[in-house]
Structure 1
Amino acid sequence: MRIRALALPAVLVLAFAVTASADAGPNSARFDRPYPGFAPAGTVLRAGSPAQAGLNAAPIDAFNRQLAAWVPSIYPGATALLAHNGVVVDRTATGEAVKFQDATTQLPPDQQVPARTDTIYDLASLSKLFTSIVAVQQLEAGRIALDTPVAHYLPEFATNGKADITIEQLLTHTSGLIPDPIPSLWAGYPDIPSREKAILDTTPSAAPGTQYVYSDLNMLTMQLVLQQVTGKKLDELVRTGITEPLHMVDTGYNPPASKLSRIAATEYEVSPPRGMVRGSVHDENAWAMGGVAGHAGVFSTADDLAVLAQAILNGGVYRGHRILSEHGVHLMQVNFNQKFPDDSHGLGFELDQIWYMGGLSGPDTMGHTGFTGTSLVIDPRSRSFAILLTNRVHPTRNTPSTNGARRAAAQALAQAMSVQAPDGGRSWFSGQGGGSTSTLTTGTLHGSVRVSFEAFVNTETTDLLTLEASTDGGTTWTAVPLTVRGRSGPQMSPQMSLSGQSSRSWQQVRAQVSNPSNDLMLRWRYTTDPSYEGRGVNVADIELSCGRTTFTPVGWQLT
């Protein structure tokens, strides 16, 4: 596709014809206009089409096709839910909730159970969020304090060098505790009292506050603290403090037998000899704790998790039932781990993890994943969330990672929101998979050139947008120094490329390119590494102080 620019007397302004549209209309949801603060407290989820929520349906439709295509290579079955600004725009299920009778043998087709939108899944480590919410509730009630040592509440925890570990360090995985109990709770100890003692007796691997180590033991310990300060078991605290107020009727530990027909199966286990696990927690250490554990054990549906996510977006309240104050929610979305830049963490929630948050990732994007193949991503800036529940451990845990599916859910929602040029016109858009390059190249330009354009860049920090120049017909290219300014700020800064996900705002870019040989070509190059990417890049309002030119886009489209 070639787009010819209009030649004007002094400055060339590129006027684009409409050839493709990835953005919605004037009432569209704007990814480049983040919402301030919490959603209105009265926001209640309702079903609606992407168009009714101001979204472009195409990325969501493509995600649903891919979700089905990943059966059975990544998971037997999956349920997904996407919502924006209170509207549930996608709620879908694919594959089977129960497919195997043992580790290798499929059930007869008439005995297999299809995944449904109301299928109940073992959430695995998403359970940590429920423990963390209860912890923040007790923090607000004054029963615990973040900077208080755990040993203040559980004196026996001080053994083996743990006297200085604080509540905050448990909730942000900076306590220095090892990832899992050694030996495992189910194999090494005969009963729950001895298993609780093993948790308290754990020897850390690092001094508190010196490392980020994701650890189930942090949340198992947090469970014991909460039970000590309240005199109640964790399942009761979750029920009375979260699921009952929010009417999450399918959420809890140890689901009743009456719901077995809707529960997805997990693994066929030989050690311990549990057979096909269905309706009982998959995690062996949680199973050893009677199914109620700080790190795992909660079962839920996409619909129930949607209510929890909207309550978080609303500032801790849903349908008039408040489970946290706005300050409490803030504590779960503010980064306590600034010493560990790749491991941003609020109290319980992970923050800004592009490896599964994809295009929704940002400094205050909240989420968590679970070993069974689950994920929850909550993006306050767009008031959106993406839920993916799978049974990828059925019938064995030796399956591919679901991270690509997790990212795809968030990416679909991010790209369904529009990015609109500051002047209201069209922009070039490139949003691509990892390990690829897209280029937008001018024809030959005469004379030295002043360049200006607007850029919206939402990428991983290693995925760069660069302006490059060539004077040998495109054989070799050299990066052009850029001067960049945020649209709301007067300060200009020199740099060689653009990247990042923090601002979600347009930037004004300027450059000057000498052209002594009168055979200059320019190109905008966007390159991603093989890992993952953000929402992508938009370039708009290109102005060149030269004569007539054309554009050759490879991997770019007009929106």
Structure 2
Amino acid sequence: DESDSTMYYESILKTIPENAPIILNSFASPSAWKNRIFLPDHQMDFIHALNQKSDRILLISFGNPYLIQGLPETPAYICAWKGSALMQNALVESLLGKNDFTGTLPITIPEIADRGFGIQLEQKPISFKASSFSPGNYIKYVMPYEIDSEISKVQPLLQKATADSAWPGAVLLAAKDGKIFFYDAVGYHTYKKKRAMRKSDIFDLASITKVVALTSAVMKLTESGQLDLDEKVVTYLPDFKGKQPKYFQQKSEMTIKHLLTHTAGLPPFKQYFLMDGEEKTRLDSVYNTEPVIGLEEETIYSDVGLITLGKVAEQVSGFPLDELVDSLVFKPLGMNTTFYNPPSEKLHRVIPTEIADRYRNGLIHGEVHDENAHSLGGVAGHAGLFSTAEDLAVFSQMMLNGGIYGWKRIFKEETVQLFTSKANVVEGSSRCLGWDSPEGKASGGVYLSDSSFGHTGYTGTSLWIDPENNMFVILLTNAVHPDRLWKDPKYFDWRQRVHSAVYEAVGITEKNPNLDWRKKWD
């Protein structure tokens, strides 16, 4: 519709094969208050681009008959006059061959057709085989008993964790088979207990940004053929080679897959935010960062690689990362409370994080907690995204569905499978492409299946999706409040216990032999 961005139309255009048959419906009516009689410029540009890609286009105007004047190259045009249900049904009947085309123009369209003109077509009914395509599950809210779940122990555990100062407050959402059976908030925004936590509150996701935003962008760019996972990073971002000849060879051999799997040998973190100067200066330092081990020697979880990959996505697409994922993923899914740099009008819903005394001073509220992301303008591949449990539930269900939500296909099923399976770049590593899989003292609990994939965020967030059990669990907290040192060990202990309790609530009590309880629960 009119609110869709140019980027969104460009993404659609890239998926259409050359000279494909296209039926395009337009609901354009002259609007005096909009001072135009045609479609918005970006929609007109999209149709012009379609005409360049295919000469098998049928344009149907449910409204303004003069629309064709602005698109004279269009090979076939039907005036349907109004967008009423009656007119739409009549058109479909004719397109299916059930009724003849017998209409004539009651007006003249200058330089296109005279009054009384109309192509008369006698039709023969068209038969179609039933489509095998079906929509993906929508999430819906149910009472726990509707899926035979027993949640009586989950809420007390959340309360105990809060009382034990694992976090000031939390929101927990859990769903199985597309049905949300637990969704509640506990505690407060801070330990001052002035504002109670609400289910609709907005959290700084920290490193969950890496999968929900950046990895999603990479998935879309891979599907469109703009990005090759096995291509060298320097192909897309020549400056990544750096300025140190000693590391030219290794930096030149790093691929997109190395960055996604944390196997490039880059360090976990550097304090770029302490550098003086502009954002470009800090990015130059990111690109010049030297590796600490060789390629594929071991897995080192690296923010540096994901900051770089975010810039690759921007370079390849031609759009800022926040606009890219909003247009191609968040907006199509209706994730309207997922964004970088939260707008000021939503500040009352944004959960504060740390009380800082290092790079910044005072309570961090309404801006990204991660210092490097903040110094890069709040938009980065490794951190910066804010969201709600409900928006993340939609995203998680889409991933469980194999890339589709309702009738909206976001990713191909094979793309979801590729990115959420172990990459095995380093033997024994849990890393998938962007995503992680459960191992050891798993953050997502001890009952996760081996097919599960998820991620955590430094601020106190965790998201785990389990295809085998057809469920997902989202736990959002601000455990870094008032200080990041408060997290260990209480946050880590209670996070695992709460995730596990959700599984126990639906009767999954057989521990995965590959996973271990943390010491507190063992």
Query: Residue 315 of structure 2 aligns to a residue in which SS?
Result: helix
Query: Residue 378 of structure 1 aligns to a residue in which SS?
Result: strand
TM-score, structure 2 normalization: 0.70
Q: What is aligned with 1:458?
A: 511
Could you tell me how far 1:255 is from its partner in structure 2?
A: 0.5
Q: What is aligned with 2:140?
A: 46
Using a 3 Å threshold, how does the CA distance of structure 1 residues 177 and 90 change in structure 2: closer, same or farther?
same
List runs of 5+ in structure 1 lacking aligned partners: 1-38, 100-105, 420-430, 432-456, 464-527, 534-559
8 Å Cα contact 1:120-1:263 kept in structure 2: yes
Q: Which letter maps to 1:89?
A: F
8 Å Cα contact 1:126-1:296 kept in structure 2: yes
Distance between the aligned counterparts of 1:352 and 1:75, measured in 2? 23
Q: What is aligned with 2:5?
A: none
Q: Which letter maps to 1:295?
A: H
Q: How does 1:20-39 map to 2 (within 5 A)?
A: none
8 Å Cα contact 1:462-1:529 kept in structure 2: no
8 Å Cα contact 2:448-2:512 kept in structure 1: no
Please tell me whether residue 119 in structure 1 is matched to residue 201 in structure 2: yes
Q: What is aligned with 1:97?
A: 189
Q: What is aligned with 1:471?
A: none
Could you tell me how far 1:412 is from its partner in structure 2?
A: 2.0
Query: Residue 311 of structure 1 aligns to a residue in which SS?
Result: helix
Residue in structure 2 matching 1:303, options 383, 390, 407: 390
Q: Show structure 1 runs of 4+ deviating over 4 A.
A: none
Query: Residue 333 of structure 2 aligns to a residue in which SS?
Result: coil
Q: What is aligned with 1:141?
A: 224
Distance between the aligned counterparts of 1:374 and 1:291, measured in 2? 18
Residue in structure 2 matching 1:80, options 151, 156, 172: 172
Distance between the aligned counterparts of 1:191 and 1:272, measured in 2? 16
Please tell me whether residue 293 in structure 1 is matched to residue 293 in structure 2: no
Please tell me whether residue 223 in structure 1 is matched to residue 315 in structure 2: no
Q: What is aligned with 1:320?
A: 407
Distance between the aligned counterparts of 2:444 and 2:360, measured in 1? 36
Q: How does 1:217-366 map to 2 (within 5 A)?
A: 217-337=304-424, 339-341=426-428, 343-353=429-439, 354-366=441-453
Identical residues among aligned pairs (%): 36
Q: Which letter maps to 2:308?
A: T
Show CA shifts across 1:484-532 (max 9, x none).
xxxxxxxxxxxxxxxxxxxxxxxxxxxxxxxxxxxxxxxxxxxx78376
Distance between the aligned counterparts of 2:453 and 2:382, measured in 1? 18
Could you tell me how far 1:242 is from its partner in structure 2?
A: 1.4
Distance between the aligned counterparts of 1:219 and 1:529, measured in 2? 29
Show CA shifts across 1:102-159 (max 9, x none).
xxxx4xx5xx111110110100100001101111110111111111110111112123
Distance between the aligned counterparts of 1:40 and 1:65, measured in 2? 40
Could you tell me how far 1:411 is from its partner in structure 2?
A: 1.2
Could you tell me how far 1:396 is from its partner in structure 2?
A: 1.3
Query: Residue 245 of structure 1 aligns to a residue in which SS?
Result: helix
Structure with the larger strand share = 1
Please tell me whether residue 61 in structure 1 is matched to residue 152 in structure 2: yes
Residue in structure 2 matching 1:156, options 239, 246, 263: 239
Q: Which letter maps to 1:77?
A: G
Could you tell me how far 1:348 is from its partner in structure 2?
A: 1.0
Could you tell me how far 1:458 is from its partner in structure 2?
A: 3.1
Q: What is aligned with 2:499?
A: 410
Query: Residue 82 of structure 1 aligns to a residue in which SS?
Result: strand
Residue in structure 2 matching 1:132, options 209, 215, 233: 215
Query: Residue 485 of structure 2 aligns to a residue in which SS?
Result: coil
Show CA shifts across 1:172-208 (max 9, x none).
1111110012xx1211241111111111111001111
Query: Residue 382 of structure 2 aligns to a residue in which SS?
Result: coil
Distance between the aligned counterparts of 1:96 and 1:416, measured in 2? 25
Residue in structure 2 matching 1:206, options 271, 280, 293: 293
Using a 3 Å threshold, how does the CA distance of structure 1 residues 74 and 217 change in structure 2: closer, same or farther?
same
Could you tell me how far 1:300 is from its partner in structure 2?
A: 0.5
Distance between the aligned counterparts of 1:163 and 1:198, measured in 2? 16
**Higher RCO structure, 1 or 2 (CA under 8 Å, sep 6+):** 1
Q: Which letter maps to 2:143?
A: S
Distance between the aligned counterparts of 2:446 and 2:422, measured in 1? 19
Query: Residue 93 of structure 1 aligns to a residue in which SS?
Result: strand
RMSD of aligned residue pairs (Cα, Å): 2.0
Could you tell me how far 1:41 is from its partner in structure 2?
A: 4.0
Distance between the aligned counterparts of 1:366 and 1:40, measured in 2? 25
Query: Residue 152 of structure 2 aligns to a residue in which SS?
Result: helix
Distance between the aligned counterparts of 2:230 and 2:520, measured in 1? 37
Q: What is aligned with 1:371?
A: 458
Could you tell me how far 1:360 is from its partner in structure 2?
A: 3.6
Structure with the larger helix share = 2
Q: What is aligned with 1:470?
A: none
Q: Which letter maps to 2:369?
A: H
8 Å Cα contact 2:493-2:518 kept in structure 1: no
Q: Which letter maps to 1:124?
A: A
Residue in structure 1 matching 2:257, options 168, 173, 183: 168
8 Å Cα contact 1:360-1:379 kept in structure 2: no
Distance between the aligned counterparts of 1:315 and 1:292, measured in 2? 27
8 Å Cα contact 1:41-1:314 kept in structure 2: no
Could you tell me how far 1:317 is from its partner in structure 2?
A: 1.3
Distance between the aligned counterparts of 1:213 and 1:253, measured in 2? 26
8 Å Cα contact 1:387-1:409 kept in structure 2: no
8 Å Cα contact 2:296-2:426 kept in structure 1: no
Q: Which letter maps to 1:173?
A: H
8 Å Cα contact 1:192-1:288 kept in structure 2: yes
Using a 3 Å threshold, how does the CA distance of structure 1 residues 461 and 349 change in structure 2: closer, same or farther?
closer
Could you tell me how far 1:40 is from its partner in structure 2?
A: 7.2
Could you tell me how far 1:219 is from its partner in structure 2?
A: 0.7
Using a 3 Å threshold, how does the CA distance of structure 1 residues 397 and 41 change in structure 2: closer, same or farther?
same
Could you tell me how far 1:357 is from its partner in structure 2?
A: 1.9
Distance between the aligned counterparts of 1:333 and 1:532, measured in 2? 29
TM-score, structure 1 normalization: 0.65
8 Å Cα contact 1:360-1:414 kept in structure 2: yes
Q: What is aligned with 1:479?
A: none
Show CA shifts across 1:228-257 (max 9, x none).
111111111111111101111111100001
Distance between the aligned counterparts of 1:413 and 1:272, measured in 2? 38
Could you tell me how far 1:42 is from its partner in structure 2?
A: 2.5
Using a 3 Å threshold, how does the CA distance of structure 1 residues 48 and 40 change in structure 2: closer, same or farther?
farther
Could you tell me how far 1:338 is from its partner in structure 2?
A: 6.0
Using a 3 Å threshold, how does the CA distance of structure 1 residues 380 and 408 change in structure 2: closer, same or farther?
same
Show CA shifts across 1:248-271 (max 9, x none).
111110000100111111111122
Distance between the aligned counterparts of 1:220 and 1:200, measured in 2? 9
